[in-house]
Amino acid sequence: MTTRKPTKRELARARRARDASYDGVFWVCVKTTGIFCRPSCRARMPLERNVEYAFSPREALTRGYRPCKRCQPTRAPGAHPDWVQRVLQLSAEARDRRITDGELRSAGIDPVRARRYFVERFGMTFHAYHRAARMGAALDDLKGGTEPLATGLGRGYESDSGFRAAFSGKFKATPGRSRIVEQIKVEGMESPVGRFEIGATSRGVCLVEFADRRALPTELAQLEQRLKMPVVPGSNRFVAQMVDQLERYFAGELRDFTTELDITGTPFQRRVWAELVRIPYGQTISYGELARRVKLPGGQRAVGQANGANHIAIVIPCHRVVQSDGTLRGYGGGLWRKQHLLELEAAHASLFAGAAAAAQG
C-alpha cells in the first residue's frame, strides 16, 4: 500500500478545479494575503505565481499563514462552522414550533446565509430542513400512539387541517395511516477522518457517507427515490447503533460491523458489495481480483464504478480495493481518507489476530 505526494501540476489542477477530494491532502497558501485555504475554498482564485502549497495545517501555520475564515482549513473535514452548529442546535430545541427569519437574526444568523449553506450541504433550505425534522418527530409521535390532533398541536401546527395537509404533503399519506409510513432518519457524527452523515430506515442503515462530499445531496435524493420514503433529520436505533460501532472501529476496538443494513442498488452492484464485505479486516485486494471474484474478468472499470456507487462507506469496505501494484486509487472521500482507514486496520489487525489466538488457546 503506497501513496505519493501530488506533483506541482496536479496540485495546480486540483486548486483550479476546487477539487474537494484533495481536502486533507494539501492546503493552498496565498502569498499576497497571508492566508491558507482548503483546495475547495470558494474564495477568489489567486494566480499560480502567488501560491505555494503545504501538506498539513501545521506546516502552513509554521510558515506564518493565517487560516481562511471562509473555508476554516483547520476545522475537521466536513464539520459544520460554529454558526451552523448554532442553527442546528436551535432546530433541535424547536421541534415543536416554526423558526422565523427574525429568530435567526436575533441569534446572530443571516437567514440568506443559512439558506445557501443548507441548500449546498443538505439539498434543501434551512426552513425545509426544520419542517422535515418537525414532521419526522410528528411521525414518531403517531407511531408511539399519540392522536393526530394532539400530535399536530404538539409540533406547533395551529390547526388539525394544517397539520394533516403538511403530513400528507411530506409522506403522501394521512396521519391515520402513519403505521405504514416510513422515513429515512439522518444524523451526523464526527470521526478522526471528518464528519459522517448516517441514514437508516426502520429496516437498517442505508447511508454512511462523508459529509463534505459534494454529491451528498444527490445521494440523499437517490435514496428517497429508490426507497420511496423521505429523508428527515433525526435518529433511530439503527443510526445510534452505527454511531456506536463506528466510534469503536476508529478506536481500534471493533473489526466486524453487525448493524442491520438496508441496501439499495442494481444486482451487479449488490454482487460487488457482497464481495467487498468478504475482504478480511486489515487486508486489501486489487480491482482485477475483485472483478474475477464477481465473475467478470477484465471488468476493473465496472467494479470500480460499483465501488463509487456504494453509499455505506467503511461498513461495505470499498477502501480495501487497491491497484495491482498496491497503490491507492479512486476513493470518493479522498485518497488521504483511504490511506488512513487502511493504516488503521493494518495497525490493529495483529491485535485482533492475537486476541483470537489467545481465546482459542
Q: Which residues are catalytic?
A: 37, 318
Name the DSSP letter for residue 21: G
Distance separating alpha carbons of residues 147 and 76, to the nearest angstrom: 43
Strand order in the sheet with 27-30: 51-54, 27-30, 35-37, 66-67
The phi, psi pair for 167, rounded to 5°, reads: -65, -45
Question: Does residue 68 contact residue 41 with C-beta atoms inside 8 Å?
Answer: yes
In whole angstroms, give the CA distance from residue 196 to residue 193: 9
Name the β-bridge partners of 232: 185
Euclidean distance between CA atoms 110 and 108, whole angstroms: 7
Closest by Cα among 175, 239, 167 to 208 = 239
With CA atoms as reference, report the closest residue to 120 among 197, 206, 215.
215
The b/e string for 114-131 (b: 16+ C-beta within 10 A; e otherwise) is bbebbeebbbbbbbebbb
The H or E element that residue 220 is part of is helix 216-227
The DSSP result for 138-176, as a single string, is HHHHHHTT--HHHHHHHTT-SSHHHHHHHHHHHHSS-GG
* Closest of 254, 285, 332 to residue 1, by C-alpha: 285
